[in-house]
Structure 1
């Protein structure tokens, strides 16, 4: 009986993932009507509606979202059990669920993922490219890669794996229209393009070689939770941005952006891996962290 109950749960999750009974049933090798009946059995058993159904749409109820998240935890436990049996060989298996920053993920992490799946054919990878700070435990991620973010959450482990230089830059058109700042205090008269996510806002600290850190006065009309959006606006001449060098190297080389206040250095941009605090770390997660450190640590 328990196996049948679990099967109904997995069918419900497949329907949610696919967005319809037809596609969800197909993913589980069954018809639309069989998938719908499985979800109805599940709803009857737990005494709650999990899906709102109309002739055209299918949506998840609040109870359905909670149940789906619990289902992810069940799957994670099953995958961890499988991984523990394979730990002697250390072969990554199952699904590696990652959340990575949008621009950094596409430019830097994606080539690592391509190398990883080529090395381990039994592995699947699901990636969310977003600059939004996610709750990786609640949302079912194995690993997050973040820029400059450490996590005080005791459920999580954070590890700095690499650092990049940050560069204060603006487009030639912006500097022609507004003048080029010569001192840190001059920045107060300019438009800053600031990274801001939830209640975290980027601050600018600069210093000369060996000098003390100075907090730059920054006014900003434009704030984004996307580094790529900041880069785009800087190239478009909308203000001054402080961006990691990997993101703007091509723009600097092509003259679309210019480094300003070259006598000052900014804080290093730290790349951090964040993952749930577990006694045993699955091979698929551990091996990917090793690859990130190997490729980016230098």
Structure 2
């Protein structure tokens, strides 16, 4: 395999007109430059330069090789200079994986302010409730609920694992009555994630700290917490929602608590990224924004 450094040396020698001048420009000994160009010729199995005491002349093969290489060498040089020039300013594309309803609690204005402050940064959001592979899917930053696991990624908790509580709309409670025990839930409708049995399976912790599992008939399934919230507000059943997500509706009276002495262990929210090493400034800047806005805080009150 050719040593691209030797190819770049060859291009510089041609441009300089001599080994001595190329060595001076590169800050290298002249004999080192000459030796490495000879090594390149040996690898190629052909002479590229005719040497004389007065000047260097390209052979016909050398002329063709130079014309094919000079553009590539210049391109690599310019790319490196561009990177070094922008090394002190966030730039480039940041690919972000987040849950489908991420922008229901992360105001778009925060994104607009970030892009205005960093005009050379591009943000690419991949919104899905499916768990992505950061490496395989080329993800720079990911948001995940649940406890941090030893996945080899760097993780940071942003929102605490507050308990998830049962809620329902006042209209639903007026129509169906308020359950007074976990056993009463069997006679109610729930709003939850889909389950083959057609039942919601909730593991709840009571005031005594004991964990109990209940099964509640489910007539409305949705794969995002935001959709479940809206369904509960519409009176479709009882939902178990993160306190941060239901707080605004509870304060506005659109939802009321159901059996508040029981809670489901909350998932919280974490930010993950592949590695701390050589983290691009654009990625670091975006993580900094997220931590500033969300770290161990409640969700902003921005719900529809």
User: Would you say same fold, with TM above 0.5?
Assistant: yes
CA distance in 2 between partners of 1:95 and 1:85 (Å): 17
- How far residue 151 of structure 1 moved from its aligned partner, in angstroms, is 5.6
* Alignment partner of 1:162 is 2:137: no
Cα offsets for 1:62-98 (capped at 9, x unmatched): xxxxxxxxxxxxxxxxxxx999857974x32101111
Q: Aligned pair count? A: 214
SS of residue in 1 equivalent to 2:259:
coil
- Partner Cα separation in structure 2 for residue 110 and residue 231 of structure 1: 20
The one of 209, 215, 218 equivalent to 1:217 is: 215
Matches within 5 A, 1:157-196: 157-163=154-160, 165=162, 166-195=164-193
Q: TM-score, structure 2 length as denominator? A: 0.59
Residue of structure 2 in register with 1:294 after alignment: 292
CA contact (8 A) 2:157 2:295 kept: no
Tell me by how many angstroms 1:111 deviates: 4.1
Aligned to 1:145: 143
CA distance in 2, matches of 1:212, 1:273: 30
8 Å CA contact retained: 1:87, 1:283: no
Structure 2 matches for 1:91-170, cutoff 5 A?
Answer: 91-108=89-106, 110-148=108-146, 150=148, 153-154=151-152, 156-163=153-160, 165=162, 166-170=164-168
The one of 269, 281, 285 equivalent to 1:271 is 269
Distance 1:83 1:153 in 2: 34
Q: Is the 8 A contact 1:84 1:282 kept in 2?
A: no
Question: Quick one: which of 260, 263, 266 aligns to 1:262?
Answer: 260
Q: Using a 3 Å threshold, how does the CA distance of structure 1 residues 202 and 138 change in structure 2: closer, same or farther?
A: farther
Structure 1 stretches of 5 or more lacking a match? Answer: 1-80
List runs of 5+ in structure 2 lacking aligned partners.
1-79, 297-304
Distance change >3 Å, CA 246–CA 82, structure 1 → 2: farther
Give the whole-Å Cα distance in 1 for the aligned partners of 2:85 and 2:143: 25
Aligned to 1:52: none
Give, in whole Å, the separation in 2 of the partners of 1:160 and 1:202.
28
Structural RMSD (CA): 3.4
Instruction: Tell me the TM-score normalised to structure 1 length.
Output: 0.60
